[in-house]
């Protein structure tokens, strides 16, 4: 794990220019890794991001008896021919709580071995993140769920297809329900399902393994249970959140970036939302081009009303890009309201932007009003979570002078070697460690 004393030093005020290739989708990598538990056969996964969350998932799978081999930094071969049934004391609770995606092992383990006991998952501290949706779906398939000493114990002699309405369009809840249902007896109809690109990636991979899932990309999935799945070689898609991060980076620094293999078909709402900030990105086949020196003027709503950017389930604007878009808005002329509906703590990173010179009013835990443009100056900050960490990094590059960002292991959890990726664009960024280095 990255040392928590690591920090970035950034010299801002320089337009970032060049080409960059985003990594594979972090939020697809974790469920497709968990899906290897559904078959005895080898599974080869390509385009996995080389980030800490993926490493932790691999360690957890190894603890369950999965043979995990890294063919190269982005290609893994996994074989779950011998899977241990997890007991309450088998999995390290601290390791399990290190990532939110650890809970994704519940669905395939239930389908594979019929009983499991797992600790509560962890992840970013961005507000309450309930897991009820997962276990209600398991109960709908015939499982019994109990909570004992802080562990979830789930068991089912046989899973049976059912018509299930999820109580919220949870991404990981949908993924867990799908992985449990593919080996259930009969047909499962999953309503109010999440439909994000990473959910689609998982469903497409499962179909390539022999599952029968229809309605992929919609909010109703129909899953005809099968008796077994076989191995597969599968390449996950591009991380659309990372693409959105680079759009904001180019805009905030007045730079020009060509984003390779951006998969624009997954970016329609993201591009529409950035256009409201005066940022236009041009699809070029599978790539995306963000031109230099855009006007960055906030587009008012009809009648001159203050516009709002809000998050919602796919295909609406992703919650993971709210903090990043907010930083881009500080560099645009006009006033805009950000309404972050999903998590009550995600906007709290704004208090780190205000000392830099950002004119932002936090109205309540879910809403912030941005007045732009603001001239930002460098400062010392601490990253509270993955996406806020990237947002602070973008602010530092847009600012005049030097910035120092601590707790960057949070950024490392979602962005692969970000300093090495940005250096060819002209980014002046270096990684330091308090234990061995002196303030430069």
Catalytic residues: 124
Contact 46, 411 (CB under 8 A): no
* Cis peptide bond prior to 37, omega within 30° of 0: no
In sequence order, the 6+-apart residues with CB closer than 8 A to the CB of 304 are: none
Half-sphere exposure of 244 (CA within 13 A, CB side): 29
Q: Nearest Cα to 25, choosing from 233, 259, 220, 200?
A: 200
* Element (DSSP H or E) covering residue 314: none
* Element (DSSP H or E) covering residue 54: helix 52-63
Tokens of 81: 């021919």
Contact 376, 400 (CB under 8 A): yes
Q: Nearest Cα to 65, choosing from 42, 38, 83?
A: 83
* Element (DSSP H or E) covering residue 331: none
- Reduced to 3 DSSP states, what percent helix, strand and coil does the chain have, rounded to the nearest 5? 35, 25, 40
Instruction: Name the burial class of residue 371, with classes exposed (0-12), middle (13-18) and buried (19+) by CB atoms within 10 angstroms of its CB.
Output: middle
Sign of CA dihedral 87, 92, 97, 98: negative
Tell me, what DSSP letter sits at residue 116? E
Distance CA 172, CA 135 (A): 11
Distance CA 20, CA 10 (A): 19
Tokens of 295: 């006007």
Q: Count the Cβ atoms, other than its own, within 10 Å of residue 45.
A: 25
């Amino acid at each position: 794990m990255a040392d928590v004393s690591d920090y970035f030093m950034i010299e801002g005020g320089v337009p970032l220019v060049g080409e960059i290739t985003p990594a594979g989708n972090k939020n697809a990598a974790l469920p497709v890794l968990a899906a290897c538990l559904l078959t005895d056969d080898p599974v080869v996964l390509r385009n996995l991001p080389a980030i800490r969350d993926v490493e932790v998932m691999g360690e957890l799978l190894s603890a369950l008896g999965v043979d995990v081999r890294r063919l190269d930094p982005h290609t893994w071969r996994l074989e779950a021919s011998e899977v241990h049934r997890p007991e309450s004391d088998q999995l390290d609770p601290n390791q399990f709580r290190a990532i939110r995606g650890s809970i994704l092992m519940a669905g395939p383990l239930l389908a594979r071995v019929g009983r499991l006991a797992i600790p509560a998952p962890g992840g970013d501290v961005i507000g309450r993140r309930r897991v009820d949706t997962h276990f209600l779906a398991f109960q709908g398939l015939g499982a019994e769920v109990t909570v004992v000493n802080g562990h979830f114990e789930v068991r089912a002699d046989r899973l049976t297809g059912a018509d299930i309405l999820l109580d919220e369009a949870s991404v990981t809840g949908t993924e867990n329900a799908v992985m449990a249902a593919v080996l259930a007896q009969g047909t499962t109809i999953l309503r109010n399902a999440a439909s994000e690109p990473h959910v689609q990636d998982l469903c497409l991979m499962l179909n390539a393994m022999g599952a029968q899932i229809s309605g992929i990309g919609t909010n109703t999935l129909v899953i005809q249970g099968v008796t077994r799945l076989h191995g597969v070689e599968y390449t996950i898609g591009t991380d659309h959140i990372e693409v959105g991060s680079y759009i904001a980076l180019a805009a905030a620094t007045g730079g020009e970036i060509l984003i390779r293999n951006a998969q624009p078909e997954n970016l329609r709402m993201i591009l529409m939302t950035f256009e409201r900030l005066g940022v236009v990105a041009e699809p070029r086949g599978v790539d995306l081009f963000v031109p230099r020196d855009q006007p960055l003027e906030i587009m008012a709503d009809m009648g001159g009303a203050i516009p709002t950017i809000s998050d919602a389930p796919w295909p609406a604007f992703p919650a993971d890009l709210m903090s990043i878009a907010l930083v881009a808005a500080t560099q645009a002329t006009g006033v805009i309201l950000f309404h972050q509906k999903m998590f009550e703590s995600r906007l709290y990173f704004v208090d780190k932007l205000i000392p830099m010179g950002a004119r932002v009013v936090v109205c309540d835990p879910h809403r912030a009003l941005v007045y732009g443009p603001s001239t930002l100056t460098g400062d010392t900050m601490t990253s509270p979570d993955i996406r806020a960490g990237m947002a602070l990094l973008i602010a530092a590059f847009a600012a005049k002078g030097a910035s120092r960002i601590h707790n960057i292991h949070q950024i490392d959890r979602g962005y692969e070697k970000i300093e090495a990726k940005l250096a060819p664009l002209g980014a002046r960024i270096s990684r330091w460690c308090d234990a061995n280095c002196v303030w430069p």
